Amino acid sequence: MKKRNDWTGKNMLEKIRHLFKLDPARELSDPALSRVLHSGTGGIVIGGTDGITRENTERLIRRVRREAPPHLPLFLEVSSYEAVFPGMDGYLIPFVLNATDPYWILGAHVAAVKKTGLFIPWEKIQVEGYIILNPAAKAFQVTKAHLPRDEEEALAYAETGGHLLRLPLLYLEYSGRYGDPALVRKVKERLPETHLLYGGGITSREEAEEMGRYADTVVVGNILYEDLEKGLSTVLPA
């Protein structure tokens, strides 16, 4: 019998054009959360960098589960193994390709597997090769990321993740700032087979469409907390 949400060998973000990323450490009222969940987005990712605790993550997961339409995929992006909960549709594991602190390349992962290995639902897990490109982003600082010196170096990171490591997902992360559409286009041209995510600074439908021309999935976070209506306007149809 086929297990539900068994993504083994498949890309769990396939066909998802737009994701909202909800941060457990930030506040969203019940009515606002409900509108996000019923916005027509392709899925919800729960994740953040700063102030993530077991308690706030669990609380947000419960609220989202209570209100989300049954078909809406719910993903947890894991930044701390203490804040992992069962029952999500999928788990996204960042693998920060341009981190200079090795803890964020394999250290955190090995520690988590060592601690919980037997209980990990591997069939629901997918690794994301992150390239963090905004030095002001918290994740850039936490991972002590190296800013690629030029476009060729950024592309080399992408090719290393996609072609050499054959990572299923590549994530161009500008969190908090709108990035460079030309770079997103070039990454997609060099890696047509790799599922490309773009996230950072999207505040309008036009920006979501622009990045969505090249990225397979666009991710929108911050604007939901700053201007809900603008945030909702970014949703791309499936």
CB of 154 to ligand 1GP, least distance (A): 16
Closest distance of CB 22 from ligand 1GP, Å: 10
Q: What is the C-alpha to C-alpha distance for residues 85 and 138, in angstroms, rounded to an integer? A: 24
Q: Which residues form the interface with ligand 1GP (CB under 6 A)?
A: 21, 173, 175-176, 199-202, 219-223
User: Which residues, including other chains, have CB under 8 Å from residue 33's CB and lie 6 or more apart?
Assistant: 22, 63, 64, 67
- Both tokens of 84, joined, read 């992992």
- Closest to ligand 1GP by CB, 77 vs 124, is 77
The least CB distance from residue 48 to ligand 1GP, in Å, is: 8
- Closer to ligand 1GP by Cβ: residue 191 or 211: 211
In whole angstroms, what is the distance from residue 227 CA to residue 22 CA?
Answer: 14
- Tokens representing residue 153 in the block: 């170096």
Residue placing its CB nearer to ligand 1GP in the complex, 121 or 234: 234
Smallest distance from ligand 1GP to CB 132, Å: 9
By C-beta, is 97 or 220 nearer to ligand 1GP? 220
Query: In the bound complex, what is the minimum distance in angstroms from residue 71's beta carbon to ligand 1GP?
Result: 23
Q: Are 195 and 170 in contact (CB under 8 A)?
A: yes
Nearest residue to ligand 1GP, by Cβ distance, number only: 199
**Number of residues that make up the chain:** 238
Smaller CB separation from ligand 1GP, 113 or 200: 200
Return the HEC string of 101-154: CHHHCCHHHHHHHHHHHHHCCHHHEEEEEEEECCCCCHHHHHCCECCCCCHHHH
